[in-house]
Amino acid sequence: QNAINCEPLKDLVRTVPDFPKPGILFYDITTLLKDKAGFAQMIDALAAHYIGKDVDLILGIEARGFIFGPAMAYRLNAGFVPVRKPKKLPAPTAKVTYDLEYGSDSLEIHLDAIEPGQRVVIVDDLLATGGTMQATVQLVKQLGGEIAGLAFAVELDFLRGRQKFAEYDVFSLLHYS
Ligand code: PRP
């Protein structure tokens, strides 16, 4: 399904043990982003999945969705919409609150960011448990957007976050098990 073979990009991802907490192996994509060929290939491969699918908007989730979203939007001739942490957006917003391991977090989107029926791809750097993406899906539904796909640079297969999105097209470039 990957039109472009992205496996070699994994060589550019740095693994950092015990970050941000003991026992967590962190997949650091900054080493991939700074590689000009690697970055281009990653954006091309992400965008390629949506060519011909009539995408109106790319939504990027703060913070690392902002790395991929605008570049994909430019490639796909789509608009870009930021989904932000609370109190960052100036105009009226829709807000969703979701559970974390300890406590909760919220995300906001401008109420006028999506017109009903617009076709939206949501992008983030990482699919872990899927809680962040699930919250963003709720925001898109509230605003009447149609979800054309969910995109990730990295998916942690063993956390099975994908199971939350059975009814959607979920596309991740790099898989770790
Ligand atoms: C990370 C990552 C995703 C989310 C994935 O963000 O960038 O947004 O976690 O986890 P989930 O699938 O379990 O929801 P983080 O919470 O570290 O926030 P940040 O991007 O602002 O650093």
- Distance of CA 176 from the midpoint of ligand 1 (Å): 16
Instruction: Indicate if ligand 1 lies below 6 Å from the C-beta of 159.
Output: no
Instruction: Indicate if ligand 1 lies below 6 Å from the C-beta of 174.
Output: no
Which pLDDT tens digit goes with each residue over 1-57?
Answer: 556 789 999 999 999 999 999 999 999 999 999 999 999 999 999 999 999 999 999
Q: What is the number of the ligand 1 atom nearest to the C-alpha of 61?
A: 8
Q: Give me the pLDDT at residue 3, please.
A: 65
Q: Which is the catalytic residue, given 75, 84, 101, 119?
A: 101
Who's near 63: CB < 8 A, 6+ residues apart?
none
101 is catalytic: yes
Measured CA to CA, the distance from residue 146 to residue 49 in angstroms comes to 17
Q: Give me the pLDDT at residue 2, please.
A: 55
Instruction: Indicate if ligand 1 lies below 6 Å from the C-beta of 132.
Output: yes
Instruction: Indicate if ligand 1 lies below 6 Å from the C-beta of 40.
Output: no
- Distance of CA 107 from the midpoint of ligand 1 (Å): 12
Q: Give me the pLDDT at residue 4, please.
A: 75
Smallest CA-to-CA distance from 122 within 91, 148, 103, 96 is with: 148
> Are 161 and 130 contacting, i.e. CB atoms less than 8 angstroms apart?
yes
Residue at token pair 């959607």: 168
64 is catalytic: yes
Q: Domains of the chain by range and CATH?
A: 54-176 (3.40.50.2020)
ipTM of the complex: 0.96
